[in-house]
Structure formats: C-alpha cells, structure tokens
DNA sequence: TGGGATATCATGGGCATTCATGGTTGGTCA
DNA sequence: TGACCAACCATGAATGCCCATGATATCCCA
C-alpha cells in the first residue's frame, strides 16, 4: 500500500485539473497492477479532502463488512458517509486529476491546493487553511507525543 | 469482486431504462468472464434498491450456508428475503438496465434515481430520499467512526 | 568545481472520444 | 394482431487524450 510524505502546493487550472505531486503519483503506481489514480473523500471532522490509493479504501470497506456483517447499521452508516461521497480519480497522461466541484467547495479550494502526506493517506487543503491547521496541530502534537503508547516491535 | 464508490444521479426514461454509471459498469465487467450486468434486490430495512455483481451474491449465499448450515431456519429466512426477490439485469448495448416496476415502486423511484457506491455493493435511491438518508447517516457515522477498530497501517 | 546539456515536472490549451439520453425500428410472444 | 422488449441510431455535453511550453532540478563532463 502506498505511503505519503511531505507537503506540496499546486495550481488548479480553469478546467479543475491539478497535478498530483510526482512522489505521491509514484507511491500509488509502485504496486504492480494497481489502479493508476487516487481515491478521495470528505473526512468527517475536517474542512479538507482526504485521499489514498484504492487499496486503502478497499481494505477499509472489507474490514467494515468483515467486522460488522454486510447489513449492520453501524457498518452501513460509515460506508455511506465515507464511500458514497468518495470519488475515484484516474491520472491523465500528465499525472493530473479533476477534483469534483462538491469536494472542492467543501474544502474551500479555489485556484490552488496543498497536498499533505500523512502516511497511508494524504489530505488536500486550501493552502491558507492548511497553514492555520498546521499551527494548531503542532501545538496539539507537542502535548500528545509523550503519551503515545509503545510500538511493540512488530505486532502480528 | 467489483468495488463501487461515489454517487451518480441518472434519469429514468419513459420506457423505464436507466444508464448504469460508467464506473460501475466497468467495475462489474472488469472481472474476466463475469456476467455483463448487475443483480439487484430489496434490502430489509431501507426504502431503496441494493445491487452488486453476481459474485457478491454468490459470496453472500456461501457465507449464509457456511455460518448457519444449509437447513437452518435463520439462514433460510435471509436467503428467501434477499435472494428470492433478486433480479439479474443485463446491460443493453448502451449500458442501461430496466428496473423492475415492483422494486422501483418500493424505492419511490420515478423519473430519476441515484446510484450510491458503498464498497462491494451499491444502492439505488429516489434522489431526494437519498439526500435525507445521507444527512442522517453522516450524523450517525460521526458517532461511530471514533469507535472503529484500527485499520490501514499495513496490517493485512 | 563550474558550466552546459538533459530529464522531469507543473501548467495551459485544443481536439477526439465517451457518456448519458431520447427516439425509432424490428422481432417475439401471447 | 397487438403489446412488450431488445437492438440500432442520433445528439449534445462532458470527459479524457494529445500536444506544446517554461521552469526547475539533475547529471555529466571538462
């Protein structure tokens, strides 16, 4: 599964296209036979877009079905909230995608956006909004980091 | 097995035909030798239609038999409710299907319908009814999501 | 180490194809 | 013969593909 690091800001052109940062593109396409594109969705508690590779969402979906059963109301609510609002965006030959208008509006994205790698997934922000969010997160992380549980050396 | 994401609203014409969204069509037909169409049925607790590819229904059936035994009354009740009422719809040359009148009526679908991808299956709603349902599910998911078991992180 | 050549990348615009949609025709079964 | 169903055709809009450009970073060689 792909891994995303670092932050990049790219322009959104008149047609709504954005270049996905090359490192993210390579991360997604590294897996043989993987879907050449990304999947994005509206996260529940943040004014941004979240994205990942298809394998990530498939795993989320399959675990929901596996842990809750295919007709469990709790499973359905999360599946509907995340998956129904998701979009599968394939790269054009130049490595760009088209952000759906609804998700763009929800994140307040206009003519530029910031890609933020956070491990197995990434976020897409309005550049100014991300600066504010980042400052907030830094303060929070400084408090939380010392309390993190130990890694446990390779949980099976 | 096919994977369905995102939502699409299409018109139902006078003859009852609906275009299945191209991404859903491709997902279904991607598997080599798969039945070129979809399977739909009436879900137990929602006023909509549910659909999937044939492989999903086969797996559902196999799990019912596996978890309950072939002559268990509970298994039989679910099998009867879901599988007996299911319809197999093949695509016409343009990628459309005809929704059976009974299922259409049960979901309150008239001249338009919304396809909602939720992972291994999808739903077909009356567009307004889905908007209401979606708002409801978002609230519910916001409560559920923090309780979700961990996923991602490379653990298979 | 410095300078030039090269490759990669982000960006912009024009064009062909696909897609959703509606109507029409031909065939089949009652 | 009439009703229904499936294939065929047509159309406008939206989407994705192809080309071109400039800037940046990288590599190679002197």
Does the CB of B142 have a partner CB in chain A at under 8 Å?
yes
CATH at residue A37 = 3.40.1550.20
- Strand B7-11: give its sheet, edge to edge: B7-11, B112-117, B122-125, B49-52, B37-41, B87-90
pLDDT above 90 as % of chain A: 74
- Summarised one tens digit per residue, pLDDT across range B57-110 is 999 888 888 888 888 888 888 888 888 889 999 999 999 999 999 999 999 999
* Nearest CB partner across the interface for A77, out of B4, B140, B155: B140
- CA-wise closest residue to A109 among A45, A16, A4: A16
Does the CB of B17 have a partner CB in chain A at under 8 Å?
no
* Residue A20, pLDDT above cutoff 90: yes
In a domain, B81, yes or no: yes
Residue A132 phi, psi (nearest 5) = -65, -45
- CA-wise closest residue to A16 among A122, A79, A87: A87
* Count of the separate structural domains present in chain B: 1
Residue-number span of the structural domain to which B132 is assigned: 7-147
In a domain, A104, yes or no: yes
98-117 in chain B: CB under 8 A from chain A: 116-117
* Nearest CB partner across the interface for A84, out of B3, B118, B140: B118
In a domain, A36, yes or no: yes
Rounded to the nearest angstrom, the minimum Cα separation between A135 and chain B is: 23
Q: What is the DSSP string of A43-112?
A: -SSSSSEEEE-HHHHHHHHHHHHHHH-TT-HHHHHHHHHHHTT-EEEE--TTSEEE--HHHHHHTT--SE
- The pLDDT value given to residue A65: 84
In a domain, A120, yes or no: yes
The b/e string for A30-55 (b: 16+ C-beta within 10 A; e otherwise) is eeeeebebbbbbbbbeeebbbbbbbb
In a domain, B153, yes or no: no
- The pLDDT value given to residue B68: 81
Q: Which of chain B's residues have a Cβ under 8 Å away from the Cβ of A65?
A: 119-120
Q: Which nucleotides of C are covered by protein (CB under 7 A)?
A: 8-14, 18-24
Q: Which residue of A has its CA nearest to B156?
A: A59
- CA-wise closest residue to A3 among A27, A21, A20, A26: A27
- Give yes or no for a contact between B37 and B87, defined as CB atoms under 8 angstroms apart: no
Number of H helices, E strands in chain B: 5, 8
- The pLDDT value given to residue A155: 53
- Beta carbon of A19 within 7 Å of strand C? yes
In a domain, A153, yes or no: no
Q: Average pLDDT for residues A70-92, to the nearest whole number?
A: 92
pLDDT above 70 as % of chain B: 94
In a domain, A2, yes or no: no
Chain-centre distance for alpha carbon A150: 26
Cα–Cα distances in angstroms (integers) from residue A156 to residues A146, A151, B30, in the given order: 24, 12, 33
Span CA (A94) to C1' (C4), Å: 28
In a domain, A46, yes or no: yes
């Amino acid at each position: 599964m792909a891994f995303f690091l670092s932050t990049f800001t790219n322009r959104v052109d008149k047609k709504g296209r954005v270049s996905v940062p090359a490192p993210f593109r390579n991360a997604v396409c590294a897996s043989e036979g993987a879907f050449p594109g990304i999947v994005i969705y509206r996260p529940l508690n943040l004014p941004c877009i979240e994205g990942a590779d298809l394998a990530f969402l498939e795993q989320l979906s399959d675990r929901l079905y596996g842990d809750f059963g295919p007709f469990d109301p709790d499973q359905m609510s999360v599946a509907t909230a995340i998956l129904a609002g998701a979009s599968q965006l394939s790269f054009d030959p130049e490595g760009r995608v088209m952000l759906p208008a609804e998700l763009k509006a929800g994140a307040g994205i206009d003519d530029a956006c910031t890609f933020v790698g956070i491990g197995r997934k990434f976020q897409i922000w309005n550049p100014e909004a991300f600066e504010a969010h980042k400052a907030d997160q830094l303060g929070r992380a400084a408090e939380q980091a010392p309390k993190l549980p130990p890694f446990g050396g390779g949980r099976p």
